[in-house]
Each structure stands twice: as C-alpha cells, then as structure tokens.
Amino acid sequence: MKIGLSSDHGAFEYKEILKEMLKEEGHEVTDFGCCSAEAVDYTDTASAVARSVALGENEKGIVMCGTGIGASISANKIKGIRCALCSEPTSARLTREHNDSNVLAMGQRMIGVEMMKDIVHAWLYTDFSNGERHKRRIDKIAELER
C-alpha cells in the first residue's frame, strides 16, 4: 500500500518509528516531513499528506502532531479527505468500517508507542463496510464540501 506520512516536531519521534514499521511490513511510504525535532507547523506537513491522498498519489495518509488535533483539522480542510483522530484501536477500526476514512491522525503526547502501532494496524487492515447507510452519510459529507 502507498502511504503518505507526516508529523510536526511534536511527533517526529513517532513518525520515524512508524515509518520503519510500515516499510518493514512492505508498504511504500512517502515522508512529507518533518525531518528533525526542530519546530515546524503541523499545517504544512499534514496538508501535504492530505493533498497527496486527495490526488490519488497515496492510497492513505497518516498525520501526527503533539495531540493529533491540529494535524487532523488541517488534513480535513482538503477536499475529499476524511481524517479521523484516534487514540485507541476500536475507533480506528470503526472509522474505516463506517466512515471510510482515508487519513489517520494521532498525537504523540497522547498515546504510547505500542498503542500507536495497534491503532495503525487496526486502521490500515480494516475495510470499509460498504453499508448503504454509511455510503449515504459519506455522500452527504462530500456534498458539504461543494
């Protein structure tokens, strides 16, 4: 799977851990930054991932910052993006099944490394249910963007 990945300085450590894990699992990862623990704006890195997903350059995206809140808000400003901020695997699974989320947000200051890995696995390996009510709601979300 082609995955876009980014963080700000507040989640740089987790981004690097996640990048290696994803590559070891056979995924193609595009790193949109940041490249160190020096301060950067989450808006820049998260929007770059979201644009790549919206344009079809990456199948899914993962954005991170200290809390995950700023990164998720920024990603959701890009048309066609359904970014979900998750702090545990159940919501990660449900946002794929029910919302067909295409970007995942997490916060390094909010979760541990093993929780991050569990969330990512739940999110990546859960398919959209294709349930009629879920498709209808996603269509209504898309209509809000128009």
Catalytic residues: 65, 98
Report CA 144 to chain centroid distance, whole Å.
21
User: Do 35 and 9 touch, CB atoms closer than 8 A?
Assistant: no
User: Tokens representing 112?
Assistant: 């541990």
Rounded Cα distance between 57 and 60, Å, is 9
Rounded Cα distance between 70 and 62, Å, is 13
Question: What's the CA dihedral at 76, 82, 88, 93 to 10 degrees?
Answer: 180
Q: Is the dihedral of CA 141, 78, 101, 86 positive or negative?
A: negative
